[in-house]
């Protein structure tokens, strides 16, 4: 049971001109499942490794339960980590792998046995305790790595993309298992992934990072509904939000003949240093296909991804002379064909506006 606090924590690799993690401020509550997400190279793994003690903290501090752990070695932090490639000890059996950390702490043999058996039962590994890792499948190895963390009963779990080596189906299955397990155990968890679907489905809160800078940290719903800037808006959600920088009028953003209405407040903010432009975004699923007379934007269909439950329609249109691409998620059984021209109208009040130069939500 622990809280974790990053306070202005930075990591600057020698020989690079910008920090890998830049003044990270983050508070993780007791028992919370926090997901760090971002594109590769955004510093999410580095942040996690700083918390683990595997990476130096150049500036700022990290606290676990208000205890400053910034300069403590990993073993004094009472954390357990699950690695992307599992990092099992190949010469030890599953049982020995899970018992290793406990043995190091001189836990009595009988207690080790109880805890390992309990964790093995949770993870359906009882039949494999005497096997070596090489005799296990990928999913089983992943569970052993989880088990090795669970038996420790640590203050904090750290997971570094633990699902990325599993195949798609197993990944979805294990995703829900991990989330369930975490809520059963109630141990504070920091989870790193590059997959926004994983982040949205597993996290109590999600922290989005880009270039070492924290962009936004909030609940999945809040990230989806009110992204703090253009990057978060484009990163969260699949297919990605349609985001275009268009000319600003007195009523809103001009998309060809269509105008996306903005409030007076938003227009005023967009005008400040916005150079007469505004960045407007609307999600593919917040659109309707309408008839030509209803004032939608005409789009020529380039590609239709039929998912069964619905379809993603990719198309293009010309705005101010340049070709712009759009994605629209249509409902089930709407038939759209390649080369058709459809008329798209975003649902009222479901679009997002950002400052054209700074990208900040307005």
Exactly one of 79, 146, 178, 217 binds other proteins (CB under 8 A); which one? 79
- 61's CB contacts (< 8 A; 6+ apart) are 7, 8, 9, 68, 70
- Decide whether 14 or 339 has the Cβ nearer to other proteins: 14
- Decide whether 166 or 344 has the Cβ nearer to other proteins: 166
Q: Rounded to the nearest whole angstrom, what is the least distance from the CB of residue 180 to other proteins in the complex?
A: 24
Could you say whether residue 129 binds other proteins (CB under 8 A)? Answer: no
Q: Are the beta carbons of 210 and 231 closer than 8 angstroms? A: yes
Could you say whether residue 54 binds other proteins (CB under 8 A)? Answer: yes
Stretch that binds other proteins, among 51-59, 60-68, 309-317, 335-343 (CB under 8 A): 51-59
- Decide whether 56 or 340 has the Cβ nearer to other proteins: 56
Question: What are the φ/ψ torsions at residue 84 (nearest 5 degrees)?
Answer: -55, -45
The span from the CA of 188 to the CA of 203, in Å, is 11
| 3-class secondary-structure state, position 31 | coil
Q: Rounded to the nearest whole angstrom, what is the least distance from the CB of residue 105 to other proteins in the complex?
A: 6
Stretch that binds other proteins, among 83-91, 177-185, 231-239, 259-267 (CB under 8 A): 83-91
- Strands of 197-296 (E only): list them: 205-210, 213-218, 242-247, 252-255, 258-261, 277-282, 287-290
DSSP 72: S
How many residues can be counted in the chain?
Answer: 362
Q: Rounded to the nearest whole angstrom, what is the least distance from the CB of residue 235 to other proteins in the complex?
A: 25
Could you say whether residue 169 binds other proteins (CB under 8 A)? Answer: no
The span from the CA of 68 to the CA of 17, in Å, is 28
Exactly one of 5, 61, 63, 83 binds other proteins (CB under 8 A); which one? 83
Exactly one of 11, 44, 115, 148 binds other proteins (CB under 8 A); which one? 148
The residue with tokens 């622990």 is 2
- Decide whether 84 or 357 has the Cβ nearer to other proteins: 84
DSSP 161: S
Q: Give the binding site for other proteins (CB under 8 A).
A: 52-54, 73-75, 79-81, 83-91, 100-101, 104-105, 132-136, 138, 141, 148, 152, 158, 165
């Amino acid at each position: 049971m622990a809280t974790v606090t990053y306070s202005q924590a930075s990591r600057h690799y020698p020989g690079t001109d910008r920090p890998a993690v830049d003044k990270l401020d983050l508070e993780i509550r007791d028992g919370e499942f926090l997901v760090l997400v971002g594109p590769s190279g955004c510093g999410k793994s580095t942040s996690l490794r700083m918390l683990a003690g595997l990476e130096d903290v150049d500036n700022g501090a990290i606290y676990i339960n208000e205890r400053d752990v910034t300069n403590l070695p990993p073993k004094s932090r009472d954390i357990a980590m699950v690695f992307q490639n599992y990092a099992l000890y190949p010469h030890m059996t599953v049982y020995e792998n899970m018992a290793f950390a406990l043995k190091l702490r001189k836990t009595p043999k009988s207690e080790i046995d109880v805890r390992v058996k309990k964790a093995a039962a949770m993870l359906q590994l009882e039949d494999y305790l005497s096997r070596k890792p090489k005799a296990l499948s990928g999913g089983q190895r992943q569970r052993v790595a989880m088990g090795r963390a669970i038996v420790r009963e640590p203050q904090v779990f750290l997971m570094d993309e633990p699902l990325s080596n599993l195949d798609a189906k197993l990944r979805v299955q294990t995703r829900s298992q991990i989330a369930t397990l975490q809520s059963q155990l109630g141990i504070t968890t920091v989870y790193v992934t590059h997959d926004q679907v994983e982040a949205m489905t597993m996290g109590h809160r999600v922290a989005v990072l880009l270039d070492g800078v924290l962009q936004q940290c909030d609940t999945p719903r809040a990230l989806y509904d009110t992204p703090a800037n253009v990057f978060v808006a484009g990163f969260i959600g699949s297919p990605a939000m349609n985001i275009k920088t268009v000319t600003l009028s007195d009523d809103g953003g001009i998309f060809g003949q269509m105008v996306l209405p903005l409030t007076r407040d938003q227009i005023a903010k967009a005008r400040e240093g916005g150079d007469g432009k505004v960045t407007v975004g609307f999600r593919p699923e917040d659109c309707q296909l309408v008839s030509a007379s209803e004032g939608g934007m005409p789009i020529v269909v380039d590609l239709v991804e039929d998912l069964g439950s619905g379809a993603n329609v990719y198309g293009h249109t010309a705005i101010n002379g340049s070709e712009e691409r759009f994605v629209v998620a249509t409902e089930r059984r709407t038939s759209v064909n390649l080369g058709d021209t459809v008329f798209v109208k975003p649902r009222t009040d479901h679009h997002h506006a950002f400052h054209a130069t700074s990208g900040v939500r307005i």
